[in-house]
Amino acid sequence: MDAIIVVDMQIGLLNGPPKHNLQGVVKHINLLTTMVRGRSGKVIWIRHCGKPGDGFERDTEGWSFLPELDRHPDDVVVEKTLNDSFVRTELQNTLVQMALDRVIVTGWATDSCVDSTIRSAISNDHHVVVVSDAHTVSDRPHMDAAAVIRHHHWVWSDLLTNHSVRIATTGELLDEAAV
């Protein structure tokens, strides 16, 4: 069974510079969550709970998930206050109870919350699949968003782990599920 983790895809991410291929990322996340549900897997939405006054403050508009996302009542929501979705949350306990084959990771932001979540999933001995076209970031002062994403794919593909780390496209995962 698979679990897909969708990191911080909330209205607050619309603040600031544009996010790389955001509409494509949302489309891919919706396709993947449908695939995972169709194979009796679990969809886990990570919600960042920001500090008072920031764009992700609890119970503000920015705290809400993007309305374009296809969320279901039986999906799991895990709230976090740090970059890492595992720290001081129930995420690891939730994953352990599922008898997973792999954890699929998507979301925002490639170089912080997505990266931290991938590294913790690896450290917690999960097989991880990073969906190369289902995470996003803004341009950074020293590097454009596409380069940030390429760099992280390179880093993630060479991490030391007890299990596997795979970089795959949405299309590859959908094709494999169709077999």
DSSP assignments along 17-31, one per residue: SPPTTHHHHHHHHHH
pLDDT tens track for 167-178: 999 999 999 999
pLDDT higher than threshold 90 for residue 95: yes
Whether the Cβ atoms of residue 47 and residue 81 lie closer than 8 Å to each other: no
pLDDT tens track for 38-85: 999 999 999 999 999 999 999 999 999 999 999 999 999 999 999 999
Q: How confident is the model at residue 149 (pLDDT cuts 50, 70, 90)?
A: very high
| Mean pLDDT, residues 98-105 taken together | 95
pLDDT at 45: 98
Q: Where are the domains of the chain?
A: 2-174
pLDDT higher than threshold 90 for residue 99: no
Q: Where are the alpha helices (DSSP H) in the chain?
A: 22-38, 91-96, 115-123, 145-156, 170-178
Rounded to 10°, the helix 22-38/170-178 angle is 20
Structure tokens at 55: 């764009």
| Mean pLDDT, residues 5-11 taken together | 98
pTM as predicted: 0.97
Buried b / exposed e across 25-49, counting CB within 10 Å, b at 16+?
bbebbbbbbebbbeeebbbbbbbbe
3-state secondary structure labels for all residues of 116-148: HHHHHHHHCCCCEEEEEEEEECCCECCECHHHH
**At 103, phi and psi to the nearest 5?**
-115, 125
Start-to-end CA span in the chain (Å): 15
Class of domain 2-174: alpha beta
